[in-house]
């Protein structure tokens, strides 16, 4: 077959496709008078749902149902510890997850804000999700933070997360660049087909609230498990009143959100330190005395942006090395002294680890900028 014939055949094939396609090409100098007065309209017909099909599997042997995720009450946003060169300290990480299992946590968020997913490459991120599933997937639910402000990245990371076995995904709305409400819906609908999904609303970090109309729209999807809500009690009540599962995203509000406003539970930072007490707070009925006892610790943890406080605390408890990936740095000495007093007030036996709590000096910490 000659090169010329191949080119002509390809052109004919292209012409036939273009004629039948939803994508129509209009020549600017067309002699067709009907085109001269035609008005431009949004090419909505060119948007093809699931044109790039998600790499989902319908094998159900080891799958977790959306209802299983909805039943989780205490979910810990697990800390990621580091070695001196900035790589993951998997030995310390495994110990942290084991302590969560032993003290009754129902699930862990891997690579969330607390776990510093924002400082990970996607390779690191998916590796840690896979490692957690392989080691602990039969003992605790593993929820991978595969959200992104880029829909393309969120789709790809979520495909990979479910491929390595995570039980559910956590998704944030597109931050920084933001989008319209319609764009939020389209973003979430791009990832929901892949498996059980928790939506995360934290306007203080994203700069944009996810309003109830968006959640009510995507709630029709069978894979929508619920929402981690940080706006407050009134918003929690808005959802629980319509049957939507809510986890409080604020440790200082989770007791009241659970017992007075109908929240299922909490996705917690504080439970990295006192998982047993946080479980008691959520499972054994209203306990304002315990809630009041924990508030000074919670206030201390969030005196600077999370995860600075929890990183400092776990280092002082001796369960992780005092190593920070920049731009995070430890809390100042006065706060480290305050933490020791808080631990002694609540009782060292209620905190993770077995070593005595210490006031670490500035020189004890290592800050890693390249890893």
- Taking each helix axis from N to C end, the angle separating 151-163 and 181-191, rounded to the nearest 10 degrees, works out to 20
- Judged by phi (left if over 0) then psi (alpha if -120 to 50, else beta), residue 50 lies in left
Concerning whether 200 is annotated as a catalytic residue, the answer is yes
366 burial level (CB within 10 Å; 0-12, 13-18, 19+)? middle
Asked if 198 and 147 touch (Cβ cutoff 8 Å), the reply is no
Which residues face 171 on adjacent strands?
A: 199
Concerning whether 228 is annotated as a catalytic residue, the answer is yes
Among 79, 82, 93, 228, the active-site one is 228
Among 79, 82, 141, 200, the active-site one is 200
212 burial level (CB within 10 Å; 0-12, 13-18, 19+)? middle
Comparing CA positions, the residue from 65, 71, 79 lying closest to residue 109 is 79
Beta strands in the chain (DSSP E): 74-77, 107-110, 141-145, 168-172, 197-201, 224-229, 246-248, 265-268, 323-325, 366-368
* Cα–Cα distance measured from residue 67 to residue 65, given in angstroms and rounded to the nearest whole number: 5
* Cα–Cα distance measured from residue 333 to residue 136, given in angstroms and rounded to the nearest whole number: 36
Give the other-Cβ count within 10 Å of 110's Cβ. 28
Comparing CA positions, the residue from 331, 343, 341 lying closest to residue 307 is 331
DSSP 297-332: HHHHHTSSSTTHHHHHHHHHTTSS-SEEETT--PPP
Asked if 90 and 125 touch (Cβ cutoff 8 Å), the reply is no
Residues designated catalytic:
200, 228
């Amino acid at each position: 077959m000659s090169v010329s014939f191949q080119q002509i055949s390809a052109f004919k094939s292209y012409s036939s496709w273009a004629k039948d396609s939803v994508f129509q090409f209009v020549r600017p100098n067309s002699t067709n008078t009907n085109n001269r007065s035609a008005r431009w309209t949004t090419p909505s017909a060119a948007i093809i749902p699931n044109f790039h099909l998600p790499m989902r599997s319908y094998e159900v042997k080891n799958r977790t149902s959306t209802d299983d995720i909805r039943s989780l009450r205490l979910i810990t946003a697990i800390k990621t510890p580091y070695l001196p060169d900035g790589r993951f300290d998997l030995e310390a990480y495994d110990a942290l997850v084991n302590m969560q299992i032993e003290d009754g946590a129902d699930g862990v968020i891997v690579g969330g804000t607390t776990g510093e997913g924002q400082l990970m490459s996607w390779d690191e991120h998916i590796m840690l999700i896979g490692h957690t599933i392989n080691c602990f997937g039969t003992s605790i639910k593993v929820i991978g933070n595969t959200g992104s402000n880029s829909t393309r990245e969120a789709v790809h990371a979520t495909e990979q997360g479910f491929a390595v076995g995570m039980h559910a995904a956590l998704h944030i709305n597109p931050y920084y660049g933001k989008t319209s409400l319609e764009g939020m819906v389209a973003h979430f609908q791009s990832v929901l087909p892949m498996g059980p999904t928790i939506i995360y609303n934290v306007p203080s970090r994203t700069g944009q609230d996810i309003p109830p109309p968006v959640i009510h729209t995507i709630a029709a999807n069978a894979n929508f498990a619920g929402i981690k809500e940080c706006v407050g009690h009134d918003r929690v009540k808005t959802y629980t009143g319509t049957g939507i599962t809510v986890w409080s995203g604020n440790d200082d509000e989770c007791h009241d959100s659970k017992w007075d406003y109908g929240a299922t539970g909490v996705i917690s930072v504080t439970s990295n330190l006192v998982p047993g007490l946080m479980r008691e707070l959520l499972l054994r009925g209203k306990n304002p005395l315990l809630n009041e006892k924990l508030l000074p610790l919670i206030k201390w943890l969030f005196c600077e942006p999370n995860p600075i406080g929890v990183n400092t605390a776990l280092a002082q408890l001796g369960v992780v090395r005092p190593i920070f990936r920049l731009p995070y740095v430890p809390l100042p000495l006065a706060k480290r002294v305050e933490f020791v007093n808080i631990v002694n007030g609540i009782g060292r036996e209620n905190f993770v680890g077995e070593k005595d709590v210490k006031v670490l000096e500035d020189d004890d910490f290592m800050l890693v900028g390249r890893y």
